[in-house]
Structure 1
């Protein structure tokens, strides 16, 4: 029970912080940072904590494949975003499941799963780069009721996903751990409250943030068996931070 509460609290804080960034700073920055490995990192950490570092390292291979499903979710949202909010979000979830679950049947090595994951990220980035960048215009700051609703939505998603990640094979656990635990609640919040255009800005820049997720996941696969979950997680997060900071700095220079 304590572990579950920690997962929920970490995810809730992350989602609310990213939503604040999207509303007050930039939807582009929030989209990139939504790819930072907090949700997936939490899932892999607790897989290692509860079932051993070798299990989590092996599951990371499936996580790389699961990122293809996360890209499918973003692409489905970009293609179907409309005022019919529930329909759009449901189609996005179905896209993840339709792509990710069959991939969980594959047993690829880390060095085969990695180029496939990178290639899917590049393709998704190119397919969505035509979307416009739309900022959020706040008429008034969200009240406590909105924050409570955000917390409930995020909590329900993280409980469902992190619980499901322990079913079935190691690969299936890894694939489900790749579900965008922080990004999808953020996307739902922005879409529901501010409309399709700012939400599409989030998905447009999400593949750029996937670089940090991929970096973190490869580091987990390589470092957990040798360093353990604590030191391995710290090193993996440090590498992911370098990626995110470098990408945002490059984007500022190019803009």
Structure 2
């Protein structure tokens, strides 16, 4: 019952919280927040509790490779969002993500190599999203006031996606479960609503923030993979969450002399 409650509360709360943060500080901040492993974390905890620390460590290591699929999702959605309406853009992005997942499920490499790989992939994906954003143009005017049902609809969509993904992961092996753990559940909901309500330029900014936040996600998965067997489930995930939080906060601190972005406005090109 506790694990079911985690599935039904953590991810929707993340989506609602990141959506509210996006309204206050802009789409990029929402992207960074939604990258925090609130969906993948409970999946990996469930896997480790049900199948043991060794199984969980393998799943966490595979999750690092799963972040490659999340980067693919962001790049494809950024491009498709400029040329298709939001339902088609999401479907194309999910298809690309599943295709990447199928390929990655066949790959097993060490945690160190996987961590280095995802850092390189995130760097390339961030540059691709930035290039797409330069062609999408600036955001147009003020952000429209969302309807009253906006946040409940986001939370409900998140619950449906979480139950679907965790249901598949629970029946799969450690590699498949790990690769599926970072499936873009919360990011799909937030990006889809941003694309539908604010347009492609705002969605690209959100996805750029997502790419930045994936570094903390990678730290979480890497620490869990290395520490699960020696530290146990509670100790390993406590350290992994702390590491992800420290990384996210460090990346969120603006560079000296940088001006914080504001909703409905764009920063001048450097």
| TM, length-normalised to structure 2 | 0.87
Alignment partner, residue 221 of structure 2: 217
The DSSP-based 3-state class of the residue aligned with 1:165 is helix
- What residue ranges of structure 2 are gaps of 5+ in the alignment? 260-270
Separation in 2, partners of 1:136, 1:13: 28
Q: Does residue 87 of the first structure (1) align with residue 92 of the second (2)?
A: no
Alignment partner, residue 129 of structure 2: 128
1:180 to partner: Cα distance: 2.3
Query: Which stretch of the first structure deviates more once superposed, 243-252 or 117-126?
Result: 243-252
Residues 15 and 186, structure 2, Cα contact 8 Å, conserved in 1? yes
1:184-223 equivalences under 5 Å are: 184-223=188-227
Alignment partner, residue 249 of structure 1: 253
Residues 30 and 206, structure 2, Cα contact 8 Å, conserved in 1? yes
Alignment equivalent of 2:244, drawn from 223, 240, 245: 240
1:250 to partner: Cα distance: 4.2
Separation in 2, partners of 1:14, 1:244: 15
Report how many aligned residue pairs link the two structures.
254
CA RMSD in angstroms comes to 1.9
Alignment partner, residue 49 of structure 2: 49
The DSSP-based 3-state class of the residue aligned with 2:170 is coil
| TM, length-normalised to structure 1 | 0.92
Alignment partner, residue 226 of structure 1: 230
Separation in 2, partners of 1:174, 1:136: 41
Residues 134 and 201, structure 1, Cα contact 8 Å, conserved in 2? no
Separation in 1, partners of 2:63, 2:46: 14
- What residue ranges of structure 1 are gaps of 5+ in the alignment? none
1:202 to partner: Cα distance: 0.7
Q: Per the alignment, do residues 180 and 252 of structure 1 end up closer, same or farther by CA in structure 2, a change over 3 Å counting?
A: farther
1:138 to partner: Cα distance: 4.0
Separation in 2, partners of 1:111, 1:252: 31
Alignment partner, residue 262 of structure 2: none
